[in-house]
Structure 1
Amino acid sequence: MAIPGPPPHGGALVDLRVEDGRAVAAAAQELPRWELTRRQRCDLELLATGGFSPLRTFLGRADHASVCTAMRLTTGELWPIPVTLDLPECVVAAASSAGGLTLCARGADLAVLWLREAWRPDRVAEAAAVFGTTDPAHPGVHTLLHETHPWYVSGPLAVLALPTHHDFRSLRHTPAELRRELADRGWDTVVAFQTRNPMHRAHQELTIRAARELGAHVLLHPVVGITKPGDVDPSVRVRCYRALLPTYPPGTVLLSVLPLAMRMAGPREALWHAIVRKNHGATHFIVGRDHAGPGPDSQGRPFYEPSEAQDLLRRHEDELGIGVVPFRQMVFVRELQRHVPEDEVPPGHHCLRISGTEQRRRLAQGEELPEWFTPPEVAAELRRAFPGRTGEAVALLS
């Protein structure tokens, strides 16, 4: 059956789920078992359903080296982020002896990996290549160097079941499901918006403007896997997104959540996000300033330049096969009583912005959030979720 929407990355949408899993399930009972970490569960789900097309398993040694050094698989496709299965040595030894490993989540068998490769990577070199730093103030570096097991393994992967989710069930779509939904709605041009925070007014205005200029519909595609430590809980964020939907023009927006484990890898991650959205059926992708940036380093300097992610995607736009829509800084112009891109403000007009510090102060003192910055629907949900502490959450909006 043909897959609707633009061609997936690599030309085909991968699906690793076995149709008749009896033989694989029987084999799983005989193999050593590994309880997947939260990141590994996210990665397995997107491998299984094609969100990570063209990957068919966790990266092997040659692909891992190529991705780190050249942002490409050994077959030539762009791929900027290592997707690896890290294990302790004792588990690798057991899997090597048995020939494979059963991957589990909360005791349920999800997949079997038939072991073909096992090696100890140079994780410091990986951090320097992928994140551009070995500074442990970078959350991705910290995870890689201090929370990742010392061995990587790879081999053919057969998936019995996806991880079970009890939240946002109606908003969870595999790439194939989302592509069918977009096709059923007759949406040929779809601009995807990545977010890990509650949306503020500038984000909302940006998505509406991007859709209008492209003649497109909006796919709000927030990450509900792993984001930056300290981020607002996904359950709160999803309530904020749902509250915003009625404020868009009717029939122009779709909300779908993404079980991605972010690495906060800045420009490389932006490229990765575009590939994942392309696999889910989007034709365009909004790239933010300092996209997937983790904040300041241990010296107080930004890890990545503000436009670095946008520049990287522009250089690869033709090969990516998804339109790149750079995030334009939106400001509220008092005289016009509306938001416009900063570079379109008429001379002599007053631009209004707000900082996280000011938001925290307003909320801590019980003052109203300005409606021109935070949609009242979002402010209401944040106050409901964080009574007396809302400033801690809203600080993440800026």
Structure 2
Amino acid sequence: MLHMASNVLETSIAYLYDKECGFLLLYLMLYNCNSFLTLAPSFFSIEIYKHNKEERIARTWGTTARGLPYVEEAITNAGDWLIGGDLEVIEPIKYNDGLDQYRLSPSQLREEFARRNADAVFAFQLRNPVHNGHALLMTDTRRRLLEMGYKNPVLLLHPLGGFTKADDVPLSVRMKQHEKVLEEGVLNPESTVVAIFPSPMHYAGPTEVQWHAKARINAGANFYIVGRDPAGMGHPTEKRDLYDADHGKKVLSMAPGLERLNILPFKVAAYDTKHNKMNFFDPSRKEDFLFISGTKMRSLAKNRESPPDGFMCPGGWKVLVEYYDSLAPPEGSSKLREAVAA
């Protein structure tokens, strides 16, 4: 079923009813892209219903507080009606942004796993650059699967490709950083498939993580790694997290439709100052561990400061520093603006 309100394709919509053909043609123009995707839902299966924004927001996010990133991006100014129907995809989407080779459909992913003779597929979603703590979680998961008797577990590294917050690292930069992680052997290219997950990020916590997990079943995964506060964020108006950090994995353990997916909660990883590397947190020597948040990581890169040795592969860190350098105004530009203003 198509529910245009979901904005999974992040589209603007124009539609035309063709009386002779008897169906509604939806022409979906994608942001940042010159391509069009034509979808043809059966006219008799079309659903049109009122867009109750308040109810939708409350049920999805558990709050109607102002400042929810996806709500402001895609819902607040959306129309008052929703349209749905069974779809036929006439032409695949091409973004022509140099990343289309990573936009693999679920069937293409299943074919790739079969080509690699994978007997287990474990999926890891992220919206941030891969640091060595992430890599530790992924490599340790593969080790655990081998111990369980699997012969060739394959990792699906599945970064989010849709809308993210303005302060998140853009997709093109993240994909370049992920390439360096593979090139430098932090993750094994032979047992890793990197593909873009086209969904936008809703930051809807336990509700959203069910979508993230179920979508990976379609892609052929039978194991899903879930961590602390999946799809979570800080409360937009209060100084606290919006969701309980453990609710996401608890919901996944009981959600309908996930019986075929094995949920793998992972241990917390942090920088071990005693061993100068990312390691699993040990409460018995908590004073030895340093937690480097995404905000802290971005701040270091913006200021051209180096993270602790062993936090991220050098090539991957260089990608981030170069990205933030590209955002900085040229030297002397502030003085020029002051002179013009005077």
TM over 0.5: yes
Q: Give the structure 2 partner of residue 112 of structure 1.
A: 40
Q: 1:336 to 1:367 in 2, by over 3 A?
A: closer
Q: Secondary structure at the match of 2:57?
A: helix
Q: Give the structure 2 partner of residue 327 of structure 1.
A: 266
Q: Give the structure 1 partner of residue 150 of structure 2.
A: none
> What is the correspondence of 1:211-360 to structure 2 with a 5 Å cutoff?
211-215=142-146, 216-245=153-182, 246-249=185-188, 251-316=190-255, 319-342=258-281, 344=282, 346-347=284-285, 350-355=288-293, 358-359=296-297
Q: Give the structure 2 partner of residue 69 of structure 1.
A: none
| Alignment match of 2:25 (pick from 88, 101, 108) | 101
The residue type paired with residue 279 of structure 1 is N
Distance 2:41 2:275 in 1: 59
CA shift for structure 1 position 323? 1.0
Taking structure 2 as the reference length, the TM-score comes to 0.80
CA shift for structure 1 position 219? 1.2
Q: 1:351 to 1:152 in 2, by over 3 A?
A: same
* Contact residue 118 and residue 154 of structure 1 kept, 8 A: yes
> What is the correspondence of 1:11-160 to structure 2 with a 5 Å cutoff?
57-59=1-3, 95=17, 100-105=24-29, 106=34, 108=36, 110-115=38-43, 116-143=46-73, 145-160=75-90
Gaps of 5+ in 1: 1-56, 65-80, 391-398
Q: 1:270 to 1:174 in 2, by over 3 A?
A: same
Q: Give the structure 1 partner of residue 316 of structure 2.
A: 378
CA shift for structure 1 position 297? 2.1
CA shift for structure 1 position 311? 1.0
Q: Give the structure 2 partner of residue 35 of structure 1.
A: none
* Contact residue 47 and residue 84 of structure 2 kept, 8 A: yes
Q: 1:130 to 1:387 in 2, by over 3 A?
A: same
* Contact residue 333 and residue 352 of structure 1 kept, 8 A: yes
Number of matched pairs: 311
Distance 2:73 2:302 in 1: 32
Give a deviation string over 1:225-246, Cα, whole Å, max 9, x none: 2223332111110000010013
Taking structure 1 as the reference length, the TM-score comes to 0.69
Distance 1:241 1:85 in 2: 24
Give a deviation string over 1:349-389, Cα, whole Å, max 9, x none: 61222345654564455432212323322211112222275
Q: 1:125 to 1:104 in 2, by over 3 A?
A: closer
